[in-house]
Amino acid sequence: MKNTTISVAIALALASASAGTAMAATKKAEAVPAVAMASQDEINAVRAQLQALAERLQKLEQSNQELAHENAELKAQGDKLAISQQDSEKSRDAQSDAIAKAASKVASSDWATRIKWNGDFRYRDERINRDLRTDQIRDRIRARIGFTARVNDTISVGARLATGSDDPRSPNQTIGAADTGMGRRTIGLDQYYVNWKALDGLTVTGGRMPYPYWRAGQSLLNDGDINPEGLALNYQAGMFFANAYGIWLTERAAANYNPTTGVTSSIGTDKQGTTYSGVQFGVKWPINGDTTLTAAAMYTSLGAGKGRMPYWFSGGSIPTTTTTTAVAGTCTVLPCTPGVTVTTTTSNDVNKIIVAANGNSTDAAGGLLYDFHVMQLNFELTSKIQGLPVSIFGDFAKNSGAHNGLDKAFTAGFLIGKASDKNAWEFGYAYEKLEKDSYFGGFVDSDFGAGATDTKGSIVRLGYAPAKNWTINATYFMNKLNNSGLSNVALQSSSLHMQDENYKRLQLDFGVKY
């Protein structure tokens, strides 16, 4: 309306101006008769201009109205956007709070995702029969629980608890063990180690660790329950692998020296610790989709072991024996009653020391008679026959440190099936022979041949899995002890000693893993 009024006012003003101009012209014409009156065409032209101006003003007014309408719509949209932005900011703040709370919860529970637990339990019924010993029947348990934890992308740690005493070759605990009755059973720190992925394919391990080298199949040259202490390097690139390790057995020789008896002829007073170190090179060759051949060569050396006692004794101390003698006095002046002098002497129990050598040759004081520089070759071929897993293995060792010709060991066998999934079964057989000084006795399997070298014989295994992670196994050892007939020094006159003594051992196991 405002724009229309302005248009009318302008038109009237222009009309008034035109009328004034016409009147002035008339008066001028009257005053000056010589000047002609304005033509009708000129008047029509002025009117046309006025009409055009009015139409233009009307269009401007219409445009202004449209602009005003658009401005109102834009303002409304702006208000809506402002409200929407406020709501978005509130939603974004709420989402940020929710994310922060969720991140806090994740951070507080992240430790649980970095830890993996593992464990097993085994109940064993065992029967042992020997020519020179009373039959032994006992039930034993083994329980282990452990974990591995990822510290960061390159470092992880592991630890495990296990039943058993301090025997490095056995976590078994005998139920109702002699003189213990219903006493609580021992639990010890079985593993504790750290892994560092130093480079691509290279891992450094330190502490009390699982075996740091590859072992073939069911070979019994190394007891699977041993967890050595020291440092190890493990490298793998494609089908090739390499392992190197250094294991501490005793801190220093003084730990194996008994100052009470002063036995120094073979032990010495050298403070260098006894170690067991080695290096291994191998290849794992995938022949086809089902068949893989793994083979390796390893050299091991027992450092500062010759002339020293075995590195482990039950209870952690050298076994001793006490001898008491009574000597009657003499009378120089009669009559008199001669007195009696009682003397007590403590000395090393050489017989028990020799038993702790686990079959290796010893000297008169119980020290190891030879060094152990062992070259070992082993292989394992795994495949499938009619969908059934099959493995064949072999292990050969020779000790260049022994000089009595009793320096070789070997084991070979097979395993058909694998008792893992429900209703799966397995059957295995192996034959093994360990000459007296072919292998370091502290590491040989504790079940085969009474846990000693200088033995030979067969092992038969049968296993069945009623359900996943649950197995029932039977293992039967048929061995002969003291194959060489060369008894150790202190056992020469012992009645508990004979060549090729028969040794039978039956183990029935119930085991679960979790």
Q: Is residue 338 part of a domain?
A: no
What CATH number does residue 283 fall under? 2.40.160.10
Instruction: Give the pair of three-digit tokens for residue 324.
Output: 């008491």
Q: Of 44-48, 135-139, 410-414, where does mean pLDDT reach its minimum?
A: 44-48
The pLDDT of residue 491: 52
Residues shown for the chain? 514
What is the distance between the alpha carbons of residues 48 and 54, in angstroms, rounded to a whole number? 10
Cβ atoms of residues 256 and 269 within 8 Å? no
485: left (phi over 0), alpha (psi -120 to 50) or beta: left
Same domain for 377 and 426, yes or no, is yes
Whether pLDDT at 492 is above 50: no
Same domain for 98 and 145, yes or no, is no
pLDDT, tens digit, for every residue of 264-283?
434 444 557 889 999 999 99
Q: Is residue 482 part of a domain?
A: yes
Among 111, 144, 168, residue at a domain's last position? 111
What is the distance between the alpha carbons of residues 57 and 241, in angstroms, rounded to a whole number? 96
- Strand partners of residue 413: 393, 430
pLDDT, tens digit, for every residue of 352-390?
888 899 999 998 888 899 999 999 999 999 999 999 999
Same domain for 90 and 125, yes or no, is no
Same domain for 317 and 357, yes or no, is yes
Same domain for 363 and 217, yes or no, is yes
Among 84, 111, 138, residue at a domain's last position? 111
Same domain for 203 and 100, yes or no, is no
Letter for the amino acid at 8?
V
Q: Is residue 481 part of a domain?
A: yes
Domain around 147:
114-324+347-513
Strands (E), 238-331: 240-250, 274-286, 292-303, 320-328
Same domain for 292 and 401, yes or no, is yes
Q: Of 54-58, 94-98, 315-319, where does mean pLDDT reach its minimum?
A: 94-98
What is the distance between the alpha carbons of residues 152 and 296, in angstroms, rounded to a whole number? 32
Domain count, the chain: 2
Among 79, 111, 143, residue at a domain's last position? 111
Same domain for 104 and 124, yes or no, is no
Same domain for 424 and 296, yes or no, is yes
pLDDT, tens digit, for every residue of 431-442?
999 999 999 999
Same domain for 122 and 97, yes or no, is no
Same domain for 60 and 153, yes or no, is no
